[in-house]
Chains A and B, each alone.
Chain A
């Protein structure tokens, strides 16, 4: 089975992200593979192990995003493709979905596309379903478990109320959540392979797509209001006394 894992590069989640002059700044924090997408690569590799085939990591981004693709290669992906074009610096989720769909079509004979459930930066979680819609493929979203059998994929979707078990014919788009399993660490061999890998870069003309105009535009960027950080530590002679005092304080705040 030919599987594509779609990934994105984002600032590390430990980064102190700030608004500076209307721009997002993350200081000298490293750019890494989106943590949710590590689960996507893990899910794709599990399917490769179960059914045979290949995993290709696919990313839209600048040249520097090759580092995120190398992480996927080091985890065990067979190859990687970067879609990079100056005209793609300001796309929204529908734009990204159209570009990814075009790249997936160009790869050809793909049976499963795996996404993480959202990215750490924009965080809207729209791109997986939008890519499925552009391709006209079924969407199996928020899978905590994937089972492929006789040309169909069955997933357990993790939803608010528990789990919904859904089945669809391949090819399909799947997004995965954490319950898919902890992403494996890159192996020594994997890291060596990744460091030597020549990652092809596809431009818009390579995939036969034009630059999608963003429909959503940012008008303002703000730091969150700072929290009053004056904690009042409750003390007392006994746990019962502390609890008594704390309960009174909470009740007085009228948050119950």
Chain B
């Protein structure tokens, strides 16, 4: 089987789930990595080190910034002329759009957020969550090529063989399509730390992080400002634990809605669906939407002062207690045990 694997990157920094897609492709057939951008030789090199059999490189100043239309047209043109059986992509904000558009061009469609992909004769059967992961469905697509976006961390990442790029596959330069309908005016790049999508460990805070009674907010703040100030102190504790564990910081919708932390940190229904190995919930009661967002977590640890909080129903370990005391103590314990 002939498979295209789209390598998603931001300014030359690849989304790790791209390598997971490459690994899956290799288990089915030959993997052709597609790299689009401008001056992206490093991405090409790493794609080869992760096992790409060949790379198709569209390197053009018109592709410097991701834009849905140019990237989709470049992908569609390659797929039309080379007729792959399957196009695999990691699931990111960019690939969702570009795969969606290419599918229209190619008279096909996309199956997103795959958590499993199996071959049954001619058919490719994909498992994916629906209804906020309350259900899973198996679907198959009749278009060709099939386009599938893979959920991050659902598939094993292959070993990177550093220094093997020159001996490995071929690199072929291909044309970029430059039919842009929009212009990129700039970026404001957030200090995101470890991204929630790829995080093996997530420490999350909920509404409860603002309830530390022993804190005295600085003078001159109104009630709302004082609440947010207190919440920020609470999230500092959450962040310190995440940092010791090398993890990402998450939040419940309640904490985001209250203005404690940006939307990009939100886990759950209207935020991100995550799949870490370890999820530590601090002061999160566990609304059904939040629980749906962490269903794929391998292990949940809950710290909450309310013993009846629903989060304990999905937790492996729990502490009924004050997060402002337990979380820093846990940070200290890990510092000691991990030698940090």
| A interface with B by C-beta (< 8 Å) | 11, 13-14, 16-19, 24, 35-36, 92-94, 97, 120-130, 132-134, 137-142, 144, 154, 156-169, 177-179, 182, 215-224, 227-229, 231-234, 239-240, 242-244, 246-251, 253, 255-256
Contacts and interface: CB of A to CB of B under 8 A. Distances in A.
A239 B100 contact: no
Q: Is the interface of B mostly helix, strand, loop or mixed?
A: mixed
Nearest to B99: A126
A164 B288 contact: no
A165 B94 CA distance: 14
A248 B313 CA distance: 21
Most buried by A among B13, B134, B138, B197: B134
A228 B300 CA distance: 11
Given A124-B112, A130-B100, A249 B317 contact: yes
Contact of A126 (B10, B110, B264, B315): B110
B318 A234 contact: yes
B108 to A, nearest CB: 6
B138 A133 contact: no
A121 B136 contact: no
Nearest to A92: B109
29 contacts: A18-B135, A35-B269, A123-B131, A126-B96, A126-B109, A130-B100, A142-B93, A157-B93, A162-B190, A163-B187, A163-B189, A165-B185, A167-B185, A182-B257, A217-B139, A220-B137, A220-B138, A222-B138, A224-B129, A231-B315, A233-B318, A239-B321, A240-B329, A240-B333, A243-B326, A243-B329, A248-B337, A253-B278, A253-B299
Given A160-B92, A217-B140, A250-B317, 15 more contacts: A123-B129, A126-B96, A141-B97, A142-B93, A167-B185, A216-B111, A216-B140, A223-B135, A227-B295, A227-B314, A232-B316, A232-B317, A234-B317, A243-B330, A246-B317
B232 interface: no
B183 interface: yes
Interface in B72-117: 72, 92-94, 96-101, 103-105, 108-113
B131 A17 contact: yes
A122 B92 CA distance: 17
Nearest to A142: B93
Interface string B154-185: 00000000000000000000000000011111
B100 A218 contact: no
Contact of B332 (A154, A227, A243): A243
Q: Is the interface of A mostly helix, strand, loop or mixed?
A: mixed
Contacts of A122: 130
B15 A160 contact: yes
Given A133-B104, A160-B10, A246 B131 contact: no
A127 B103 CA distance: 11
B6 interface: no
Contacts of B314: 227, 229
Nearest to B183: A167
A244 B332 CA distance: 9
Given A166-B182, A222-B136, A249-B317, A161 B329 contact: no
Contact of A133 (B65, B100, B321, B333): B100
